[in-house]
Each structure stands twice: as C-alpha cells, then as structure tokens.
C-alpha cells in the first residue's frame, strides 16, 4: 500500500487539484493506497507517523513542494521505506534535481514503478542544539532574507495562481536587495576557516539549484556525499545586480566575488545572528553547523536507460 501525503495548500491550492487527478488514475489502475490530506506541516507529520507505525506501507508519496518535504524528512529518513514526490509547490527544486516531472500522472508512474536512488541530506545544528534535515539548500544572508519575504508575501500566492511560482523568488530578490546590508561572514569548511568581510550570502547546498531553479552550486549532486557552499562577497549592490542573472545558468562561479567550497562539514558564523532557511523554511540562526549525511533517503525516481 502506498501512503499519499497531500498538502492541499501547496502552490496556492494546486496540491488539492493535483490529488484529484492522481486519485482518479490510482482508481483506474486499481492501486491500493491511503491518503493523508493536510493543510499544515505538523498535521501531516502526526498523521503520517501514526500510519507508518502500523507497518503496512511499502512507499510514501508526497504531493507538495520543497517545504512540505522539509517537514517530513526526519520521519521519512527514519522510516526506511521508499519515498516519492509529485511536485505542486512554488520552487520545486527537489523535483528538478531528481528528474521528477511536473506532470502529476508521469510523476505517479515513477512512484508506482518502484525504482529508487539513495540520496544525501544536509543536517544542520544551531547553538541551542536544534537539528534539522534539509534536502535542497540552507540559505544564510541575502538569500534567507529573500525566503522570509517570499514566505510572508501575497505576491507568492499570485505567482502560484498564474503558474509562475519561481517568479516569486525573483520578486523577493529585488525586495530583499533594497533592505539587506552585507556583513562579515566566517566560513569554516572541514576545519579550515576563511573570513569574508563583506558577505552577501552563504548558501549550503546538497543539490545544484534553489529558489525555483537558480543554479547556486552547479556541480552539486544529491548523492555525491559532499556539501557545497557558495559565498558571494566583496562587491557593491550594482555588482550583485550583474551577478544575479548569471546564477540562472551557473556562470556566476567564474566571478571573483564568488567563492565555491566543498566538503563534509561547514560552520557559518556572523558577528550578529542571521536567519537561516532550509528548503525555504526557517532553520534557526547563525552560528550554524551543517554536515552531510550520505545516502540517508531512499527516493523513487525514473529508471536510468
């Protein structure tokens, strides 16, 4: 039996519409399934945990976005059963990295086929001992300011309604740029520290994209056993405006104002605390430490070849 966790609010209500299509296809195929429909992360976790404890589920499939997935990662990584995704969020970077199509019926076919790939997770820890799993990236600095603005905005809902959810992150970028001030950032990668006196952002990535397709760490793969960090530093706001379009294709890594690091453990410190967002969701504040947890999640993907 497949457990479907449906975030009906994802994508401004797109999750509910997608589930209607998926359920029709499941009934047509005669597939045995059960469903948890939810409008909150906490509710989804509670109901899913109860059903998984019964031990009858052979797979879990989530209809939602990166944020929906984020809240379920601790439960799913511990459950030891395959996990699939039918994307219905704004950015859908998890689906993009894993080759999950936006077409819900095609995504469902991948889940029912049962082919899996073991992928890595980022685990972050703050000074108060709070830990979280993240699949896509942890944003600190300008990009976390963007995430906070997008999450609390009305324009995100309109972008989702118009089917251009990724546009919300571009709008959020320009709004955040108007208020954010660069500050010193210390990055310690595998024990080696580097100081950036005018740091704009430090993104810790497990996959290549975040923010709806921005290629922040182009070489990052979800199963390479390494975390990747992009630091943008030492430049003016006008230079940031020139760098931003190049993130769309990943060529920003050639700029002297961009430093890319890779390793297994990283610690980000700032003189004054800065918010961190993992998978677009609040994940504490600096100082924050991230480690890579290799092959932590058994993800349902399309068969190769």
What is the full DSSP assignment across 159-227?
HHHTT-TTHHHHHHHHHHHTT---EEEEEEETTEEEEEEEEEEEEEESSS-BTTTB-SSTT--TTSS-E
177 and 208 housed in the same domain: yes
What angle, 0 to 180 degrees and rounded to 10, lies between the N-to-C axes of helices 41-52 and 66-79? Answer: 20
Q: How many domains does the chain have?
A: 2
**Is residue 220 in some structural domain?**
yes
Q: Does 85 share its domain with 188?
A: no
Residue 304 falls inside a structural domain: no
Helix %, strand %, coil % of the chain (to 5):
35, 35, 30
Residue 247 tokens read as 């993130």
Give pLDDT, residue 14. 81
For residue 264, pLDDT over 90 is answered with yes
Q: Is residue 102 situated within a structural domain?
A: yes
- Same-domain check for residues 61 and 127: no
CA proximity to 169, closest of 205, 229, 209, 214: 214
Q: Which of 77, 94, 78 is nearest to 86 (CA)?
A: 94
Mark whether 13 and 108 lie in a shared domain.
yes
Average pLDDT over residues 174-203: 94
Look at residue 11 in the predicted model and tell me its pLDDT. 67
Strand partners, 7: 38
Highest mean pLDDT among 23-37, 60-74, 80-94, 251-265: 251-265
Which helix (H) or strand (E) covers residue 18, if one does? helix 10-29
Mean pLDDT across the stretch 239-255? 93
pLDDT digits (tens, 9 = 90+) for 273-294: 999 999 988 999 999 999 999 9
pLDDT score of 54: 78
Look at residue 305 and tell me if it is in a domain. Answer: no
CA 193/CA 132 separation, integer angstroms:
23
- Residues 232 and 136 occupy one common structural domain: yes
Residue 45 sits in a domain whose CATH number is 3.40.50.10330
Give the pLDDT mean for 76-104. 89
Note whether 106 and 127 are same-domain residues: no
- In the block, tokens 């546009």 appear at 167
Q: List residues bridging with 258 in a β-sheet.
A: 232
Asked whether residue 147 falls in the same domain as residue 246, the answer is yes
Q: Give the CATH number for residue 215.
A: 2.60.200.40
For residue 163, count other CB atoms closer than 10 A to its CB: 10
d(CA 39, CA 85): 17
Q: Are residues 108 and 128 in the same domain?
A: no
Distance (Å, rounded) from C-alpha 182 to C-alpha 142? 8
pLDDT band at 256 (very low <50, low <70, confident <90, very high): very high
Instruction: Give, in order, the Cα–Cα distances in Å from 221 to each of 96, 120, 130.
Output: 12, 9, 26
d(CA 114, CA 205): 27
Query: Do residue 261 and residue 165 come from a single domain?
Result: yes
pLDDT confidence of 64, banded at 50, 70, 90? confident
Domain contains 251: yes
Structure-derived torsion over alpha carbons of residues 95, 118, 72, 47, reported in degrees to the nearest 10: 110
Which range marks the domain in which residue 161 is found?
123-295
Q: What is the reported pLDDT for 56?
A: 78
**pLDDT over 70 percentage in the chain:** 98
Instruction: Choose the final residue of a domain: 97, 114, 131.
Output: 114
Domain assignment present for residue 300? The answer is no
The tens digit of pLDDT for each residue in 109-150 reads 999 999 999 999 999 999 989 999 999 999 999 999 988 888
Asked if the bond preceding 287 is cis, omega within 30° of 0, the reply is yes
213 & 74 share domain: no
Residue 305 has pLDDT above 60, yes or no: no
Q: Are residues 110 and 136 in the same domain?
A: no
Dihedral pair phi/psi, residue 39, rounded to 5°: -120, 5
Q: What is the mean pLDDT of residues 51-74?
A: 85
Residue that finishes a domain, picked among 92, 114, 136: 114
Token pair, residue 104, equals 């819900």
Higher-confidence residue: 8 or 266?
266
String of DSSP letters for 276-291: EEETTEEEEESSEEEE
Q: What is the pLDDT of residues 157-178, one digit of tens each?
A: 788 777 777 788 889 899 999 9
Q: Is the per-residue pLDDT at 100 higher than 90?
A: yes
Residue 302 lies in a domain: no
Instruction: Tell whether 182 is covered by a domain.
Output: yes
pLDDT at position 76: 85
Whether the pLDDT of residue 200 is over 90: the answer is: yes
| Average pLDDT over the chain, rounded to an integer | 90
Of 114, 139, 165, the one marking the end of a domain is: 114
Query: 74 and 160: one domain?
Result: no
* Short-list 278, 283, 239, 277, CA closest to 257: 239
């Amino acid at each position: 039996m497949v457990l479907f966790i449906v975030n009906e609010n994802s994508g401004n209500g797109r999750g509910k519409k997608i589930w209607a299509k998926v359920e029709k296809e499941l009934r047509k195929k005669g597939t045995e399934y059960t469903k948890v429909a939810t409008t909150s992360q906490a509710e989804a976790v509670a109901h899913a945990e109860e059903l998984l404890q019964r031990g009858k589920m052979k797979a879990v499939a989530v209809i939602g976005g990166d944020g929906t997935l984020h809240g379920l990662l601790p439960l799913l990584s511990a459950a030891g059963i395959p996990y699939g995704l039918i994307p219905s969020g704004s950015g859908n970077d998890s689906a993009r990295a894993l080759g999950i199509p936006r077409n819900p019926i095609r995504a469902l076919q991948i889940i029912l086929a049962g082919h899996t790939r073991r992928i890595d997770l980022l685990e972050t820890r703050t000074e108060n001992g709070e830990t979280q799993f993240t699949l896509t990236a942890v944003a600190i600095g300008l990009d976390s300011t963007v995430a906070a603005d997008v999450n609390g905005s009305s324009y995100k809902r309109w972008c989702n309604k118009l089917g251009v959810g990724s546009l919300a992150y571009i709008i959020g970028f320009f709004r955040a740029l108007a208020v954010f001030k660069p500050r010193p950032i210390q990055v310690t990668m595998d024990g080696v520290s580097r100081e950036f006196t005018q740091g704009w952002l430090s993104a810790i990535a497990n996959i290549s994209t975040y923010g709806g397709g921005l290629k922040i760490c182009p070489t990052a793969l979800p199963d390479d056993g390494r975390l990747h960090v992009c630091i943008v530093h030492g430049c003016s706001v006008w230079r940031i405006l020139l760098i931003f379009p190049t993130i769309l294709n990943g060529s920003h890594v050639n700029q002297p104002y961009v430093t890319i690091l890779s390793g297994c453990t990283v610690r980000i410190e700032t003189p004054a605390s800065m918010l961190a967002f993992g998978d677009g969701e609040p994940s504490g504040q600096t100082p924050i430490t991230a480690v890579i947890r290799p092959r932590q999640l058994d993800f349902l993907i399309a068969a190769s070849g």
